[in-house]
Amino acid sequence: MAFPTERPRRLRRTETLRRMVRETTLSTDDLIWPMFVKSKGKDEAIDAMPGVFRYNPSRAAEEASKAFAAGIPAVILFGIPDSKDALGSASWEEDGVIQQAVRKIKKAVPEMIVMADVCLCEYTDHGHCGVIKDGEVDNDATLDLLARQAVSFVKAGADVVAPSDMMDGRVGFIRDELDNSGFTDRAIMAYSVKYASSFYGPFREAAGSAPEFGDRKGYQMDPANEREAFREVELDLEEGADIIMVKPALAFLDVISSVRQITDLPIAAFNVSGEYSMVKAAANAGMIDERQIVMEILTGIKRAGADLILTYHARDVAGWLEGRR
Ligand code: PBG
Ligand code: ZN
């Protein structure tokens, strides 16, 4: 049967009808809010990311509490340490910025899920995600440091650790070390499919984590590749990942969609800094309707197959979803 019998417009006639046949819905339950934490001082605005701030641990706990009250179940923390060295040792200190923030957030809102990004680039003086040997990022020597960091975050109370370094074997290595330390109950959200993307530019300004030399193409994935994503996902599944992440989101919706076909685990997608900044710049220039654009983008990421979305828009979205009811 076809036109004139078939008329798809019949189900688009009123908002209530559209609501009834809607296939994808965005909920605050899907959101993970990324936060930048520094050791002390006033909130610091990040020029490249309007509306995003670096908070000290106490302020981070206040803002996380407000986010939880607004319906956002989880935050993911990125640390800006006071000092950096070749190994990133500030990241596993008992009183490091993340450790302090985790303790304060868990105390303020125990039910909130606190995730901690595990990587060295924010803590190393050279800005790479691993240890440098002979001018290269050494995979195997990095694993031990990542695990030290992960165990330290979890000891402070983190519910989930999220390795973003892209070293081979790190998920299994971190899983073993968590288990050996008695933390069999804490989850790993693996940045399994992480591309070497220019969309991370604003984040590197926010976190002060740009590499001093070279780039990350020797460990992060080539944006041209999709089959390689399957290989990365399969390895992380074998190594014990609990949540699989694809990052960035917008230029990689096809990858989210095909990863959906090969795993039953929850999939998270990272709506990264550059994606956020582009929307903010266009909105602040009066070129687009920010609210409509953000809802369309996040709904698209869910429709592609993501269960969870890490997004700097989380607080705004929670407000809009609340207002809609
Ligand atoms: C650390 C890390 C990065 C992001 C998340 N974890 C930056 C990078 O790999 O250079 C990017 C997040 C964003 O752009 O919002 N490795
Ligand atoms: Zn890194």
Q: What is the mean pLDDT of residues 38-50?
A: 98
Cα 19 to middle of ligand 1, angstroms:
36
Tell me, using a 6 A CB cutoff, whether residue 197 lines ligand 1: no
Tell me, using a 6 A CB cutoff, whether residue 113 lines ligand 1: no
The answer on pLDDT for 325 being more than 60 is no
Nearest CA to ligand 1 atom 14: 200
Choice among 84, 194, 280, 302 that is catalytic: 194
Which residues, listed in sequence order, are joined to residue 131 by a DSSP beta bridge? 138
For residue 195, give the DSSP letter: B
pLDDT tens per residue across span 260-300 = 999 999 999 999 999 999 999 999 999 999 999 999 999 99
Q: What is the mean pLDDT of residues 8-23?
A: 98
- Indicate the average pLDDT of the chain: 97
Cα 248 to middle of ligand 1, angstroms:
9
Cα 324 to middle of ligand 2, angstroms:
37
**pLDDT value of residue 83:** 96
The answer on pLDDT for 149 being more than 60 is yes
In whole angstroms, give the CA distance from residue 188 to residue 8. Answer: 43
Q: Do residues 247 and 194 make contact, with C-beta atoms less than 8 angstroms apart?
A: yes
Q: What is the mean pLDDT of residues 134-157?
A: 97
Question: Which ligand has the minimum distance to the alpha carbon of residue 196?
Answer: 1
Q: Which residues surround ligand 2, an ion (CB under 5 A)?
A: 119, 121, 129
- Report the length, in residues, of the chain: 325
Q: Is 126 helix (H, G, I), strand (E, B) or coil?
A: coil
Q: What is the mean pLDDT of residues 207-228?
A: 96
Task: Name the superfamily (CATH) of residues 25-324.
Answer: Aldolase class I (3.20.20.70)
Q: What is the mean pLDDT of residues 245-271?
A: 98
Residue 258 neighbours by CB distance under 10 Å: 17
Question: Which ligand has the minimum distance to the alpha carbon of residue 199?
Answer: 1
- Please give the structure tokens belonging to residue 34: 């990324």
pLDDT tens per residue across span 166-210 = 999 999 999 999 999 999 999 999 999 999 999 999 999 999 999
Question: Which ligand has the minimum distance to the alpha carbon of residue 88?
Answer: 2
The answer on pLDDT for 78 being more than 60 is yes
**pLDDT value of residue 323:** 79
**pLDDT value of residue 1:** 82
In whole angstroms, give the CA distance from residue 177 to residue 100. Answer: 21
- Of 115, 32, 71, 26, the C-alpha closest to 304 is 26
Tell me, using a 6 A CB cutoff, whether residue 164 lines ligand 1: yes
Tell me, using a 6 A CB cutoff, whether residue 119 lines ligand 1: yes
In whole angstroms, give the CA distance from residue 263 to residue 307. Answer: 12
**pLDDT value of residue 176:** 98
If one residue of 36, 200, 205, 277 were mutated to test the ligand 1 pocket, choosing by the most ligand atoms within 8 A of its CB, it would be 200
pLDDT tens per residue across span 228-238 = 999 999 999 99
Residue 133 catalytic? no
Tell me, using a 6 A CB cutoff, whether residue 273 lines ligand 1: yes
The answer on pLDDT for 324 being more than 90 is no
Residue 107 catalytic? no
Q: In this prediction, what percent of the chain has a pLDDT beyond 90?
A: 98
Count of alpha carbons within 13 angstroms of residue 2, beta-carbon side: 0
